[in-house]
Chain A
Amino acid sequence: MKKEQHIQKQIDETLEITSQFSKVKISHQFKEKVMSQLFVEKKQLIFSWFTPKLQYATLAMVIVINTFAIFYITKSNYNSNIQTFAQSFNISTEESLLN
């Protein structure tokens, strides 16, 4: 019986503890933090259309275009180099203006 009363006393004290809470002050920097977050976020919205997916797609396209460009430049250089080499050893089948 005494034990039960003791338990109930502990329960009552626990439930009543809220009446002893005092008001808590928020930190001084809170407002500055929030304002800078709100208005920095606003500036970032200007480029919000350029999402990460779009960024990766653009990068992939740039790489592909560059690869093709390098491939074709290299190929045309190769052909003209072969021609020059052949002419210098007189083994070209094309007619020269000098002949």
Chain B
Amino acid sequence: MSEKGFILKLQQGDYGSYNKLINTYEKKVFGTCISFVPNKEDAEDIAQEVFVEVYKSIKKFRENSSLSTWIYKITTNKCLEFIRKKNTKKRFAFLQSISGNDIPLDRSNYFTEFNHPGIVLENKEKSETLFKAINKLPENQRIIFTLSKIEGLSYKEIVEITEKSLPSVESILFRAKKNLQDILHIYYKNLNL
């Protein structure tokens, strides 16, 4: 079946086609989610929301990109939505705490708990530090650094997903690495005091 035919079946709500869709994309979607949010449970929840969004929005899909690219875009957006919500809750909780309401607060994490099964115990601390540093980057730098260095996508794939030009992607990645250097430098300088 061609991709066009497959999309048509998805638009018709065909059970078998959705079964095939999840079989094909669940690993990639989950892999991307855990690259952005290094907690297995959170990443699975987000991945589930991605497929629900695909189901709801498939009729609006204009086929100006491949199905795979479209799903990656949804995945990236859902991850960023999750991170924004978590960061908002952190800020709200912080305001509550300074106004005298005693709310337990973890100001450092945008994920429930660092639980990335793909990282061995000895690398856990450094990995957690890296993810927290990535969380301090501007959103466009976070997206491109994550897709490139953590998810391991090619520049061509990143260009398709982000709809930015290749020079733009390269430039943003360069700035992301520079900013991470600065963030980590401050962190380790304070740690080594």
Report the bound CA distance from A30 to B27 in whole Å: 10
Q: Decide yes or no whether A3 CB sits under 8 A from chain B.
A: yes
B43-58 Cβ-contact flags toward A at 8 Å (1 or 0): 1100110011001000
Q: Decide yes or no whether B5 CB sits under 8 A from chain A.
A: no
One of B48, B127, B180, B188 near A10 (C-beta < 8 A): B188
Q: What is the total number of residues of chain B having a CB less than 8 Å from a CB of chain A?
A: 40
A24 touches B30 (CB 8 A): yes
Indicate whether A6 sits within 8 Å of B192 (C-beta atoms), given known contacts A24-B117, A38-B18: yes
Report the bound CA distance from A42 to B56 in whole Å: 10
User: Which residue of chain B has the shortest Cβ distance to A37 in the bound complex?
Assistant: B52
Report the bound CA distance from A25 to B26 in whole Å: 10
Indicate whether A20 sits within 8 Å of B51 (C-beta atoms), given known contacts A34-B22, A38-B18, A42-B13: no
Interface residue stretch chosen among A11-19, A51-59, A81-89: A11-19
Q: Could you say which of A3, A13, A18, A42 has the most chain B C-beta atoms within 10 Å of its C-beta? A: A18
Question: For A3, what are the chain B residues with a Cβ–Cβ distance below 8 Å?
Answer: 192
Report the bound CA distance from A82 to B164 in whole Å: 87
User: Which residue of chain A has the shortest Cβ distance to B41 in the bound complex?
Assistant: A27
Q: Decide yes or no whether A39 CB sits under 8 A from chain B.
A: yes
Report the bound CA distance from A6 to B191 in whole Å: 12
Chain B: minimal CB distance from A7 (Å): 5
One of A18, A33, A35 near B150 (C-beta < 8 A): A18
B30 touches A37 (CB 8 A): no
B126 touches A34 (CB 8 A): no
Known: A14-B184, A26-B47. 15 other contacts (CB 8 A): A7-B188, A14-B133, A15-B184, A17-B126, A18-B149, A20-B119, A21-B119, A22-B119, A24-B117, A26-B27, A30-B30, A33-B48, A34-B26, A37-B52, A38-B18
User: Which residues on A are within 8 Å of B, measured CB to CB?
Assistant: 3, 6-8, 10-11, 13-15, 17-18, 20-27, 30-31, 33-35, 37-39, 41-42
